[in-house]
Structure 1
Amino acid sequence: MAPVYDIAIVGAGMAGASLAAALGPHARVLVLEAEDTPGYHATGRSAAFWSETYGGPDIQPLTTASGPFLEAGGHLAPLGSIHIGRAEDEAAIDAFLAEFAGSDVVLDRVDPSAFVPGLRAEWKLGVQEASCAYIDVAALHAESIATARRTGVDFVSDAAFSGATRVRGVWTIDTRAGAFRARVIVDAAGAWADAVAVRAGVRPLGLQAYRRTMVQLRTDPGAPDGLPHIADIAGRFYFKPEPGGRLWLSPHDETPTAPCDAAPEEIDIAIAVDRFERVVDWRVAAIERRWAGLRTFAPDRLPIYGFDPDTPAFFWCAGQGGFGIQTAPAAALLAASLLLGIAPDPAVAAIDPARYSPHRF
C-alpha cells in the first residue's frame, strides 16, 4: 500500500514550491504537478518585478514581508518604478498616495520626464516607488524546489489530479501518475484550483483566470540605462527595461478565460503597442517575443490561504492573481503556520491571516 504523507500539495508552481520548502522540515510532504515541468503556466510567464504597491494595500503586507527573504537570497535587483498620469488622472494619483499613506511604502511625487527620455508632454504626473525591483523568478522557483527536496519533499511530475476521496482521515488521491495517500490536501493548482476542489468533492470558491499579454520590444532609440519600471496610474499599460536595451510591455489586459495554456491575441499586442506609442516618442523597431500568462483571482481579488470551511483536511492556497511571485516567501510562512497549527514566523506574525481565509466566502 502507498505510504501516507502528512501533506500532499497539488501544484508545483511558485505557490506550491515555496510552501513545500517551508513545510519540508516539519512534515512528510508530497508535491503533485500536472505538467512535465513545474511552473509552466503562471510562474514561468511572470512579468518579473517586485512592487510593494502591486495588488493594493491588502497585498502590500505580504509583499513587504517577502522583501528581506528575496534580498537575502539574491533574487532582487534595483529597478525603481514611476507611476505616471495625465492631468485627468490627478484624482487617481491622489487616491494611490492615500491608499499607502499609513504603510511602510515610500512614495514621492516626481516629474516623470526626468526619468523617461522622450516622454510625451501630456504625461505630467508622476509618483516614484523607489523600492520596486527586478525579481529573478526562475532562480527563486528553482531554489524553492531545491530547498524542499533537501528536506525530503517528494515531487511527482506529469501527475494531473483526477479526484480524491477521504476515508478514516486519509485522502486517496488519483492522478495520471497513479494513486497517492495523504492526511491533508493543499490546493495550489493556480487557475485549476476550483477544478481540483470539485474533483475532490469540495465546493468551488468562484476563482477566475484572466489572460495577461506581454511583448518584448526593440525600440529606436533603445531603452536608456537606468530606465525604471513605468506604470500607468489608470492601469492601461506598464513596461520595464530588459538587458540589451529591450523592453517588456503589457497592455495590463485582464481577459476572462478558462484555465488553459494561454497564448497572446494579436489585438492585445496591437493595443499594447498603440498605448506605448502614445506615451513616448520612441519608434517600435520590432516585436521580438510575445507571450501570455494566467492570473487567477478570487471574487474579492484577495488570495485564499486556509482550511476549507466545509471539508476537513482540504487547504486552499490559491487566488494569488499577479502578485503570487512577489508575495511567495511570506505567504508560504503564513500558510505553513496554519497547516501545522504553530505560531507564525516572526516575519509574518503581524499579518492577520483571517483576511485571506476561505471562511470569508
Structure 2
Amino acid sequence: MSRTTFDVIVIGGGIAGISAAAEIARDRTVCVLEAEDQLAYHSTGRSAAIFIRNYGNAVLRRLNALAHPALAGETRAENVLSQRGELLLALDHQMDALDAYMAGTDTIERLTAQEAVDLVPVLRRDQIAAAVYEQDAQDIDVDRLLQSYARALRAEGGEIRTGQRVKALARKDALWQVTTATGTISAPTVVNAAGAWADALAALAGLPGVGLQPMRRSAVIMEVPEGLAVDSWPLFGALLEGDEGWYAKPEAGRLMISPADEDPVAPGDAWPDDMVLAEGLYRFEQMVDIPVTRPSHSWAGLRSFVPDRTPVLGLDPLAEGFCWLAGQGGYGVQTAPAMATLARDALSGGIADAGLATALSPARFR
C-alpha cells in the first residue's frame, strides 16, 4: 500500500522540484508529484542548457555563482559542465546596452568585430559594431543533472510519482491535503514547484498568485553546409532579446537557432509559431554568410517570469507550510543547485543571507 503521509510534498517534477526534493530529503520524508507521465517534460526538457555566469539581474547572478560549484562537481559527485563560451553581438544603436550589460562584471571580454569573426567565421563583419565574449560560459548536461538529483532523492527514501496532476489542495488539521486522480496524500508542508502552473496551484490552495507569466521560447535545428565544423564555436547571438533577438548554439554538427522570443502564453504544452521562427531566422540570416536551410525540426518551451524577473522562493506569509519555488524564467537549470539548497534552508529555520531571502521572498507580492 502506498504511503499517504510525508513531511514535505513537492509539486512539480522539473529540475527545480527534483533538486529541491533531493536536498530536503536529507532530513525529511519527501514525495514529488509530477502531473505528466515523465519528469522534466516542459521547461527543463526544452532548455538551451547553458551556464552563463553573467546572465540575469543582480540576484540571479548571485544565484549563478552559488550554483556553479555543484554544477562543476566540486560539491556534488558529478560535473555536468563542458566548455562552450558565449559571444554576443551589438549593432550600432546598441552600444549603450552593451555597456550596461558589461557593468559590474569581471569575466566578460569586449571584442572587435574582427575578433568576433575569428571565433565564428560565418559572421558578417560589416554587420557587427562590437561584441562581448564570456569564455567561461559552459554547456550543461541537463538530463545528467536531473537524474543525479533523482537518484539522490530516492537514495534518501524520497518518492517520485508521475502522472499525478493535482486536482485539489487544502489545509486541514495542520496538514496540506493534496488530491490527485489516484487519491489524497498529506504533509505539513508543500513546495510549489509547478513551473508555469505555480499561480494556478496557489489558487487551488486559496492563495493569490505572484503575477507569474509564462513566456514562449522557440527553437529549430538547422543543418549547416557540408564541411563546416561548428562544434567548437561558442553560443553566439544578438545582445538583445525580444524583437531584435536571436541566438545559435552548436548541436552535434548542426546549429540550434532560436529567435529569443518572449511571447506571453497560457500554461500548457508550448508549440512554436511559424511566423516567430521565420522572423528570428531572418535576423540570424542578416548576420551570417551561410544560407538558411529548412530546419529539420522545431519546438518551444516555457520560461515563466514574475514582474521583477527575480525567482520566488520562501514560505508564503498568508498560509502556513506553503513554500514557493517558482518564477525561474530562463535561469531554472543553471540556478537549480543554489535554489534547491535555499529551499531546504527556507524550511529549516530560514535563509541565512537576509538580503537574498528578502529578494526572493513571496512576501514582496503580499
State if a TM-score over 0.5 links the two structures.
Answer: yes
The residue number in structure 2 matching 1:224 is 230
Report deviation, 1:4. Answer: 2.4
Runs of 4 or more off by more than 3 Å in structure 1?
A: none
2: CA distance between counterparts of 1:158 and 1:242? Answer: 31
2: CA distance between counterparts of 1:179 and 1:301? Answer: 34
Q: Do the aligned residues in 2 keep the contact of 1:77 with 1:135 (CA within 8 Å)? A: yes
Mapping for residues 155-170 of structure 1, pairs under 5 Å:
155-170=160-175
Q: Do the aligned residues in 2 keep the contact of 1:317 with 1:335 (CA within 8 Å)? A: yes
**Does residue 203 of the first structure (1) align with residue 208 of the second (2)?**
yes
Task: Identify which range, 29-38 or 219-228, moves more after superposition.
Answer: 219-228
Report deviation, 1:82. Answer: 1.0
The residue number in structure 1 matching 2:146 is 141
Q: Aligned pair in 2 of structure 1 residues 322, 48: CA closer, same or farther (>3 Å)?
A: same
Q: Do the aligned residues in 2 keep the contact of 1:2 with 1:181 (CA within 8 Å)? A: no
Q: Do the aligned residues in 1 keep the contact of 2:82 with 2:138 (CA within 8 Å)? A: yes
Instruction: Give TM-score, length-normalised by structure 1.
Output: 0.94
Q: Do the aligned residues in 2 keep the contact of 1:220 with 1:285 (CA within 8 Å)? A: no
Give the alignment's Cα RMSD to 1 decimal: 1.6
The residue number in structure 2 matching 1:247 is 255
2: CA distance between counterparts of 1:177 and 1:196? Answer: 18
The residue number in structure 1 matching 2:70 is 69
Q: Aligned pair in 2 of structure 1 residues 233, 106: CA closer, same or farther (>3 Å)?
A: same
Report deviation, 1:279. Answer: 0.9
Q: Aligned pair in 2 of structure 1 residues 43, 358: CA closer, same or farther (>3 Å)?
A: same
Q: Do the aligned residues in 2 keep the contact of 1:223 with 1:241 (CA within 8 Å)? A: no
Report deviation, 1:342. Answer: 5.9
The residue number in structure 2 matching 1:10 is 11
- Spell out, residue by residue over 1:123-153, the C-alpha distance to the aligned partner (whole angstroms, 9 max, x if none): 1301111110100011111111111011011
Task: Identify which range, 48-57 or 155-164, moves more after superposition.
Answer: 48-57
1: CA distance between counterparts of 2:292 and 2:225? Answer: 6
* Paired positions, count: 352
**Does residue 173 of the first structure (1) align with residue 178 of the second (2)?**
yes
Q: Do the aligned residues in 1 keep the contact of 2:351 with 2:357 (CA within 8 Å)? A: no
Instruction: Give the gaps of 5 or more residues in structure 1.
Output: none
Q: Secondary structure at the match of 2:218?
A: strand
2: CA distance between counterparts of 1:210 and 1:223? Answer: 33
Report deviation, 1:354. Answer: 1.3
The residue number in structure 1 matching 2:289 is 281
Instruction: Give the gaps of 5 or more residues in structure 2.
Output: none
Q: Which amino acid aligns with 1:242?
A: E
Report deviation, 1:284. Answer: 2.1
1: CA distance between counterparts of 2:229 and 2:259? Answer: 18
Q: Do the aligned residues in 1 keep the contact of 2:231 with 2:251 (CA within 8 Å)? A: no
Q: Which amino acid aligns with 2:40?
A: G
Instruction: Give TM-score, length-normalised by structure 2.
Output: 0.93
Report deviation, 1:56. Answer: 2.6
Q: Do the aligned residues in 2 keep the contact of 1:78 with 1:132 (CA within 8 Å)? A: yes
The structure in which a higher percent of residues are strand is 1
Q: Do the aligned residues in 2 keep the contact of 1:158 with 1:177 (CA within 8 Å)? A: no
Mapping for residues 1-361 of structure 1, pairs under 5 Å:
3-72=4-73, 73-98=78-103, 100-101=104-105, 105-111=106-112, 112-120=116-124, 121-220=126-225, 222-235=228-241, 236-243=245-252, 245-341=253-349, 352-361=356-365
Task: Identify which range, 334-343 or 160-169, moves more after superposition.
Answer: 334-343
Report deviation, 1:39. Answer: 0.6
1: CA distance between counterparts of 2:98 and 2:316? Answer: 38
